[in-house]
Amino acid sequence: MGKQGRRFLLKVVNRQGSGRKSIGGSSSPGSRRSGVKLLSDGVKPIPGHPDNRHRKTSDAGGTVVKRYVRTGFWMMAGVLQVLTTWLGPDAWAYESVPVKEGATVRGTVTVTGTIPIPKEFELRRYPDHEYCSKLSNGKGYRFLTEVWARADGSLKDAVVVVEGVERGKPFPFTEAKVEANLCRFLPFVAVISDTRRITVVNQDPVPHDIQGYASDQTGGDVVFYRPSLQAGGTSDLVQLVKGRNAFTMQCSLHPYMQNWGYAVDNPYYAVTDAKGSFSIEDLPPGTYRLKTWHPLLGTLERDLTVTANQTVSLELSFEAQF
């Protein structure tokens, strides 16, 4: 039978044909590192900033973890399209039950070490540079920030998940949404439920190719490829190897368009905000596995035991190794 895994149906609908052929590929001949600072005191990086050096955060300590091998990408196509994903019958069913005297897990996620500065792309090397230059440094360059961190190391866009919860509070997961807006994917990290859908909508008047990859430390699998869409849309059934929760998305026409998705199977998760903060509530008493994932920094794992009405405060830290 081979490896059992998660079964996803990805449905892409092109509601307005562009009549435009895909050009270019996934390579990035115009990509180079830019001189853009990371978040400092809550301020987003400013394209074209003169500081052209790597920046070090304060040494908050923490566990050194193995970095993910980045493989593959997802891409989008068409003027308006929808990407639908859900988990098939392979998954075990999470059971919603009343939770009395549940625990709260809260804390912060930080990063220490030398953080990579954003990548820089020369827009004239890629299609639609006039439109995509609406978000640039004004000198013909676009930037891709993969690690959003403040000066104190507070890390944004880390996914904190409590694994091994079979019963607990309701899982009213609303449909996850990703937008292609001004030639960028928003949000940078999207969490999806393994039994719900993710919708990707292209709001740009330019096309974006579609591909999809899932990866972990051992490598990656091509799970979806659609270089161009036919009128009426298309559907593809793909198989993910069990244990691979992470997805990465990128447009081959505009390689500075990237983001990530992470699949969860219970409601006990959180994505860190700009301050690196997270909070997970109503966790039934018990012993679980706590996983903290970041698309570039990798994964932290530890055991977690909570008792009735307990509030657990955690300080989790990645060490950047670039």
Domain positions in the chain? 64-110+154-320
Condensed to tens digits (0 to 9), the pLDDT of residues 93-119 reads 899 999 999 999 999 999 999 999 999
The model's confidence at residue 196, banded by pLDDT at 50, 70 and 90, is: low
Q: What is the pLDDT of residue 267?
A: 95
- pLDDT tens digits, residue range 35-88? 333 333 333 343 443 333 333 443 433 333 333 333 333 333 333 344 444 444
For 16-41, how does the pLDDT look when each residue is reduced to its tens digit (9 = 90+)? 444 333 333 333 444 443 333 333 33
- Say what the pLDDT of residue 92 is: 59
Among 83, 97, 272, smallest CA distance to 196 is for 83
The pLDDT tens digits of the residues spanning 220-251 come to 676 666 565 332 333 333 344 566 788 888 88
* Global pTM value: 0.72
Percentage, residues of the chain above pLDDT 90: 42
**Which pLDDT does position 99 carry in this prediction?**
97
CATH architecture of 64-110+154-320: Sandwich (2.60)
Average pLDDT over residues 145-162: 97
Most confident of 116-125, 216-225, 275-284: 275-284
Q: Which two tokens stand for residue 111?
A: 């990063």
**SS3 of the chain:** CCCCEEEEEEEECCCCCCCCCCCCCCCCCCEEECCCCCCECCECCCCCCCCCCCEECCCCCCCCCCCCCCCCCCCCCCCCCCEECCECCCCCCCEECCCCCCEEEEEEEEEEEEECCCEEEEHHHCCCHHHHCCCCCCCCEEEECCCCECCCCEECCCEEEEECCCEECCCCCCCEEEEECCCCEECCEEEEECCCCEEEEECCCCCCCEEEEEEECCEEEEEEEECCCCCCCEEEEEEEECCCCEEEEECCCCCCCEEEEEEECCCCEEECCCCCEEEEEEECCEEEEEEEEECCCEEEEEEEEECCCCEEEEEEEEEECC
What would the two tokens of residue 232 be? 């009426």
